[in-house]
Amino acid sequence: KTETQMHHVALLKYFKFDCSRETLFIPELTVVCGFMVVFLLIALFGLDEVMDRVVARAHDMPMYKAERLSFSPAHLLVKFLNFVRNFTYLIMQLGSTILVVPMVQIIAGAAHCSESADYGGLVVSNAPHIQCLQHKHLQILAVLGALVPLYLFLLMPFAVVAGDALYVPSESMFEWRFW
């Protein structure tokens, strides 16, 4: 088998899902780009700190303080807000530690071209149906060219602290001397 004929196989109890790399190419890139956008929004706008303030205000609500049961409306709201806050911190931690290498590999695969006799000419190695440096590939490279440098640049302060966003205040993101 050639590299483009390799298959991703996922076995789930009694279900076998088998698809080619070519089939997963666009969905993988979409997920990676979406994740990078979310990471960038959280980092640039300090959404982790915003969520901290929102949760603190929710704890200070008179309705929350008056309720005695943990499944009352204000308590459920605070639990939901805590979940969103924790999810925000999880995105920052994963996006600056263990997901960096797999994401960069997917991005590199989107830029890697090879000669194909079957499809004629240069094609994207992981998606031979896409001609290299032609319409669709140029669009993919343009999106990646905009997202990846910004992601890698904003990733640095978070990577230094093992993804712990508590140590990277949003004010420091724009003070380059602080870095």
Give the pLDDT score at 1.
Answer: 45
CA distances for 23 relative to 4, 8, 27, 127, 129, angstroms: 10, 10, 8, 8, 10
In the structure, what pLDDT confidence band is assigned to residue 5 with cuts at 50, 70 and 90? very low
Residue 47 tokens read as 């959404």
**Beta carbons within 10 angstroms of residue 128's beta carbon:** 22
Q: What is the pLDDT of residues 162-173, one digit of tens each?
A: 888 888 888 777
Which residues, 6 or more positions from 41, have their beta carbon under 8 angstroms from its beta carbon? 47
CA distances for 96 relative to 38, 44, 111, angstroms: 12, 14, 22
Residue 37 tokens read as 């956008």
What is the torsional sign of CA 67, 71, 73, 76?
Answer: positive
Cα–Cα distance, 165 to 111 (Å, whole number): 31
| pLDDT above 60 for 141 | yes
Give the pLDDT score at 10.
Answer: 43
Cα–Cα distance, 58 to 52 (Å, whole number): 10
Q: What is the pLDDT of residues 27-84, one digit of tens each?
A: 999 999 999 999 999 999 999 999 999 999 999 999 999 988 888 999 999 999 999 9
Q: What's the distance, CA 150 to chain centroid? A: 13
Cα–Cα distance, 155 to 68 (Å, whole number): 42
Q: What is the pLDDT of residues 67-82, one digit of tens each?
A: 888 889 999 999 999 9
Which residues, 6 or more positions from 32, have their beta carbon under 8 angstroms from its beta carbon? 103, 106, 107
Looking at the DSSP bridge assignments, the partners of residue 124 are: 113, 127
Q: What is the pLDDT of residues 89-136, one digit of tens each?
A: 999 999 999 999 999 999 999 999 999 888 778 999 888 889 999 999
Give the pLDDT score at 2.
Answer: 46
Residue 72 tokens read as 């009352």
Cα–Cα distance, 78 to 52 (Å, whole number): 11
Cα–Cα distance, 171 to 102 (Å, whole number): 29
